[in-house]
A and B are shown apart, each in its own frame.
Chain A
Amino acid sequence: MAAIPEEVFFDGIVALNARLKDREFSALDLARAFTSRLEQLGPRYNALALPLTQQALRKAEEVDKDIKRGRLRGPLQGIPYGAKDLLSYAGQPTTWGARPYAGQVFDYHATVIDKLDGVGAVITGKLSMVELAGGGGYRYASASLTGPGLNPWDRSCWSGGSSSGSAAAVAAGLVTFAIGSETSGSIVTPASFCGVTALRPTYGLVSRHGAMALSWTLDKLGPFGRSAEDCGLVLQVIAGKDGKDPGSAGKSFYYTPQYSRPIKDLKAGYAPVDFAERAEPPARAAFAAALAALKDAGLQLVETKLPQFPYGPMLSCILAGEEAAIFEALISSGQVNGLADASQIAGLKAAGELPAREYLKAMRLRRLVQEEFSRLFAEVDVLVTPGRSGPASKVDQPLDGTGTPPPAPTPDLPPGFQGIIPAGNLAGLPALVLPCGFAGNLPVALQVVGAPFSENTLLAVGREFQARTDWHKRRPGSR
């Protein structure tokens, strides 16, 4: 068995695939090294829900045979990855991070897992998550069957939620990429807190067949990786029409950086207040430097205002209406009381009391939000905001019920793009998270949001930013 050098655990997809094709080591050697590392270090960050070691080794043997016979299946062939534990894997427990579902087993794979299997990617484990992806609204990071997600940069801090394990596992070099999900903030927040690149795709671009439903009209699946390029390569595989997902947009995605518009031709809307006064003081220097790097790259930054809507209350009402219907059996059976977070239990019970009229009011307002964003994206190509206003919170700090540390009150400041996470999710917009520096010992990140199906534009901005900075290459313990 070939020895796997430490830096391999932090290689991007293209570099790792090239090493496999060059026979520097076999896919089996790689899978052995990654599964061992995941089993050993995953629990250190409460990032591992279920190791799939035997499955990974079998798949890696197949990959080696394919490579030997010249059956090359693209850059993901032989690459180890993990999937959030809300995705079904046939014959193995899929817990949704929640004690009432600890023994749940499905007899089929989620579509994204099937698609990744088809190109030779090697799943090494299921990654931990906030229970029910945060449905009901959790107050503590400990709202998970696997305990609070711990941040690889500082284990006294939270890794973010609800895709806690996906972000932490990529940051710690336990997998090369991971699949997570977002209903409102569950990709953006953990990616920002753990300092990894991640992409929330346009609603409907990636099939959710085999994924736990929290909100039929808000849920999205997306990749966490080492770079914008890695996210593009993964998205190309997992995107596409799926008749098994009623929300499928019926569109494919081809990662085509060679055809992207030059960054100097792009106009980015932003609100300076987000990067200065609204940002937490330790993060401001990093945000200022990141904006300067984007300007140096030629991106035209123009001050823009977010259309004013009560995004948070709108999203909460829509989520309440849908989650109450989805988890009706859990709630009515009383088994909801087996969840770890008292606030979440109460939130799910109360959600059932939302009148249909209020759900529909929120959905009608949502139509207006979509129209306003259409107008906004006629003026700018992308929006640039902080991923989160500051670094990860302490793991025992109470959250605000939406998986977010409560912001410091700033009543006299303009709102900026404060509501961009619920707004972007209500409008089904894609977002790319780019690590952009540190606040103390913890990473912070930018978020680039675009019009529906503008993923290639977002990735072009990300590639340009990452060509000029090396924040995405930093790793815990060696910055």
Chain B
Amino acid sequence: MARRPEAGWGGRAIRPRPVPRGNLDRMTITRRKLAAAVLTSAAAPLVSQAVAQTAAQTPTNPDDELKAARDRLKTNIDTLARQTVPMDTEPAFQFKA
């Protein structure tokens, strides 16, 4: 998701733009326009070349990959479980040092 413009305070410099639609199901253009944008872009040859390169990667079993990813997640959770946090510690949602 691209970051969305906030409403702002209506100042001169903050002109509301149409909401950007980064989601796959909420694209700003039609499929036909989208295909045209890609095909007419000078990057098209680069993209097709690169897709061929990435396809050369060794295939792996998706189930094994998912199990490995879940195991990594569990290991991380177990590591955090060994940490003690004082009860009055709030999450770090502010970063304005």
Q: Are B65 and A346 in contact (CB under 8 A)?
A: yes
Q: How far is the CA of A452 from the CA of B93 in the complex (A)?
A: 15
Q: Are B80 and A313 in contact (CB under 8 A)?
A: yes
Q: How large is the interface on A (under 10, 10 to 19, 20 to 34, 35 or more residues)?
A: 35 or more
Q: Are B65 and A342 in contact (CB under 8 A)?
A: yes
Residues in A whose Cβ lies below 8 Å from that of B34 = 103-105
Minimum distance in angstroms from A442 CB to a CB of chain B:
22
A268 within 8 A of B: no
Against B, the Cβ 8 Å flags (1 = close, 0 = not) of A188-214 are 000000000000001110001111110
Q: Which of A92, A107, A208, A309 contacts B28 (CB 8 A)?
A: A107
**Which residues from 92 to 130 on chain A have a C-beta closer than 8 Å to any C-beta of chain B?**
92-95, 99-108, 126
Nearest opposing residue in chain B for A341, CB measure:
B57
Residues in B whose Cβ lies below 8 Å from that of A243 = 6, 8-9, 11, 14
Q: Are B24 and A335 in contact (CB under 8 A)?
A: yes
Q: Are B50 and A329 in contact (CB under 8 A)?
A: no
Residues in B whose Cβ lies below 8 Å from that of A203 = 95
Residues in A whose Cβ lies below 8 Å from that of B96 = 204, 249-250
Q: Are B50 and A46 in contact (CB under 8 A)?
A: yes
Q: Are B65 and A343 in contact (CB under 8 A)?
A: yes
A63 within 8 A of B: no
Nearest opposing residue in chain B for A357, CB measure:
B77
Nearest opposing residue in chain A for B7, CB measure:
A243
Q: Are A428 and B97 in contact (CB under 8 A)?
A: yes
Residues in A whose Cβ lies below 8 Å from that of B17 = 107-108
Q: How far is the CA of A105 from the CA of B25 in the complex (A)?
A: 13
Q: Are A354 and B3 in contact (CB under 8 A)?
A: no
Q: Are B80 and A50 in contact (CB under 8 A)?
A: no
Q: How far is the CA of A38 from the CA of B44 in the complex (A)?
A: 15
Q: Are A310 and B80 in contact (CB under 8 A)?
A: yes
Q: Contacts A105-B34, A107-B18 known; A368 to B85 CB distance under 8 Å?
A: yes
Residues in A whose Cβ lies below 8 Å from that of B49 = 43, 147
Q: Are B3 and A50 in contact (CB under 8 A)?
A: no
Q: Are A366 and B92 in contact (CB under 8 A)?
A: yes
Q: Are A142 and B90 in contact (CB under 8 A)?
A: no
Residues in A whose Cβ lies below 8 Å from that of B43 = 48-51, 93, 126
**Which residues from 163 to 181 on chain A have a C-beta closer than 8 Å to any C-beta of chain B?**
none
Residues in B whose Cβ lies below 8 Å from that of A136 = 69
Residues in B whose Cβ lies below 8 Å from that of A126 = 43
Q: Which residue, of B2, B9, B85, has the highest number of chain A Cβ atoms within 10 A?
A: B2
A148 within 8 A of B: yes
Nearest opposing residue in chain A for B41, CB measure:
A93
Nearest opposing residue in chain A for B9, CB measure:
A243
Residues in B whose Cβ lies below 8 Å from that of A419 = none
Minimum distance in angstroms from B45 CB to a CB of chain A:
8
Minimum distance in angstroms from A135 CB to a CB of chain B:
12
Chain A positions near chain B (C-beta within 8 angstroms) = 39, 43, 46, 48-51, 53, 88, 92-95, 99-108, 126, 136-137, 140, 142-148, 202-204, 208-213, 217, 243-247, 249-250, 309-310, 312-314, 316-317, 320, 326-327, 329-330, 333, 335, 340-343, 345-347, 349-351, 353-355, 358, 360-370, 401, 428, 451-453
- Can you spell out 27 A-B residue pairs with CB atoms less than 8 angstroms apart? A51-B43, A94-B2, A103-B34, A203-B95, A204-B95, A209-B3, A210-B3, A210-B20, A211-B2, A217-B93, A243-B6, A244-B6, A246-B6, A310-B79, A312-B76, A316-B72, A317-B77, A320-B76, A326-B1, A342-B65, A343-B65, A345-B62, A346-B62, A346-B69, A361-B81, A364-B92, A368-B85
Chain B positions near chain A (C-beta within 8 angstroms) = 1-6, 8-9, 11, 14, 17-18, 20, 22-25, 27-29, 33-35, 37-38, 41-43, 46-47, 49-51, 53-54, 56-57, 59-60, 62, 65-66, 68-70, 72-73, 75-77, 79-81, 83, 85, 89-93, 95-97
